[in-house]
Homo-oligomer: A and B are copies of this chain.
Amino acid sequence: MRALVKESSGPGIVLREVPVPRCGPSEVLIRVHHAGVCGTDLHIWEWDTWASNRLKLPVIVGHEFAGEITQVGQEAEAAGLLAVGDLVTAEGHVVCGHCLQCRLGDAHLCLRTQIIGVDRAGAFADYIVMPASNVMKLDGIPTEIGAIMDPMGNAVHTVLEAEVPGSTVLVLGCGPIGCFAVGVARAAGASLVIASDYNPKRLELARAMGAHVVLNPGSDDVVARVRELTHGDGVDLVCEMSGHPSGHAQAFAVARIGGRVNLLGTPNRTTEVDFARDIIFKGLTLYGVTGRKMYRTWHQMQRFLRAGQLDPRPVITHRFHLECIGEAIQVIKDGQAGKVILEVGA
């Protein structure tokens, strides 16, 4: 089968013919239809410090996908819940089930997480093998949307880890996950959703996803504008998706007293925090977001998608074939892309 493989140190990912993976007893084999390209894949392409520390080469890249089941392992078959022909997506974190976090229902924080496309064979390929427990039937959700439920799930996790109905929300950073967060906040009944980014193209996408107000820190005084829009209170919830220390500073400044800052954007350096002024006297709650709650997040997302409350399609700006991974990576680097999809098979 075809697969995009990170073979060696240094930039790039290459298309290779590799064997179709073997399907174990509690696994299923999936024919990939669509896959999503993520910032993580960019790190792997560029072979930055994180990538070179984490990956053991060679590895098939890609962790966002949807497709069709073509084989079901013996144990999975006995369970009778998945069948050849089912259109599915999957949680890409393969977890141990036995560590403290797994036992407490926080499997998204499993000590022994293996991420597909990073720690084990990924989805930029004609086929991928997944544990049956990680697989979710699409039941009518198109595979193109199924392929981006991983990053959309990051947004669902970030937003719903707060009491959203009637709340005021600021999304800082409007990459694809930020744009999804805007849509999720609207779907979940937020009263006011403000989005902020330096990139006008991304602000357009945020508006298309339902932002009531978009702000550009290049021309807007974000803190002043948010205060004004909230009658001086600040917002109930900040979704920090920029990963910049300036985003953190804004987040703490505009979260209301007693409010909440959920942090997803991962900065590559430290931030100076005035804990007394910004966290303690304000009674703030901060929450670090990793992955998707397994599998509460997926369920909530499926509900929103099936009811038509959330439509992520405005965020999809580009589609490429598997062999055009270089172009896909380039449009992401150019900063003009929303979500980029690989059309793998059908």
Q: Which residues of chain A (237-283) have a CB below 8 Å from chain B? A: 243, 248, 256-258, 263-264, 266-268, 270-276, 279-283
The yes or no answer to A14 lying at the interface (CB within 8 A) is no
Q: Which residues of chain A (92-116) have a CB below 8 Å from chain B? A: 96-98, 100-106, 108-109, 111
Is there an interface contact between A299 and B103, defined as CB atoms closer than 8 Å?
yes
The yes or no answer to A25 lying at the interface (CB within 8 A) is yes
With A and B bound together, what is the CA distance between A289 and B309 in angstroms?
29
Q: Which of B167, B257, B258, B283 contacts A303 (CB 8 A)?
A: B167
Q: Which of A3-11, A117-125, A158-166, A334-342 contacts B (4 or more CB under 8 A)?
A: A158-166
With A and B bound together, what is the CA distance between A268 and B283 in angstroms?
17
- Residues 296-312 of chain A: 1 if any B CB is under 8 Å from the residue's CB, otherwise 0? 10111101101101000
Q: How large is the interface on A (under 10, 10 to 19, 20 to 34, 35 or more residues)?
A: 35 or more
The yes or no answer to A48 lying at the interface (CB within 8 A) is no
Q: Which of B81, B105, B233, B304 contacts A105 (CB 8 A)?
A: B105
Can you name the residue of chain B whose Cβ is closest to the Cβ of A298? B103
Is there an interface contact between A189 and B188, defined as CB atoms closer than 8 Å?
yes
The yes or no answer to A216 lying at the interface (CB within 8 A) is no
Given contacts A133-B97, A304-B166, contact A285 B283 (CB under 8 A): no
Q: Which of B25, B191, B290 contacts A283 (CB 8 A)?
A: B290
Given contacts A97-B133, A272-B271, contact A309 B111 (CB under 8 A): no
The yes or no answer to A217 lying at the interface (CB within 8 A) is no
The yes or no answer to A187 lying at the interface (CB within 8 A) is yes
Is there an interface contact between A286 and B286, defined as CB atoms closer than 8 Å?
yes
**Residue from A233, A282, A307 whose CB has the most chain B CB atoms within 10 Å:** A307
Q: Which of B132, B275, B300 contacts A165 (CB 8 A)?
A: B300
Chain B residues, CB < 8 A from A101: 257-258
- Residues 71-82 of chain A: 1 if any B CB is under 8 Å from the residue's CB, otherwise 0? 000110001011
Is there an interface contact between A309 and B191, defined as CB atoms closer than 8 Å?
yes
Can you name the residue of chain B whose Cβ is closest to the Cβ of A278? B288
Is there an interface contact between A288 and B284, defined as CB atoms closer than 8 Å?
yes
Is there an interface contact between B188 and A166, defined as CB atoms closer than 8 Å?
yes
Top 5 A-B pairs ranked by shortest CB distance?
Answer: A165-B188, A166-B303, A191-B307, A189-B189, A280-B288
A-B contact pairs, 21 of them (CB 8 A): A24-B25, A26-B26, A26-B75, A98-B133, A100-B299, A105-B295, A106-B258, A165-B188, A166-B187, A166-B299, A188-B188, A188-B189, A191-B304, A191-B307, A243-B276, A271-B272, A272-B273, A275-B288, A281-B288, A284-B286, A285-B286
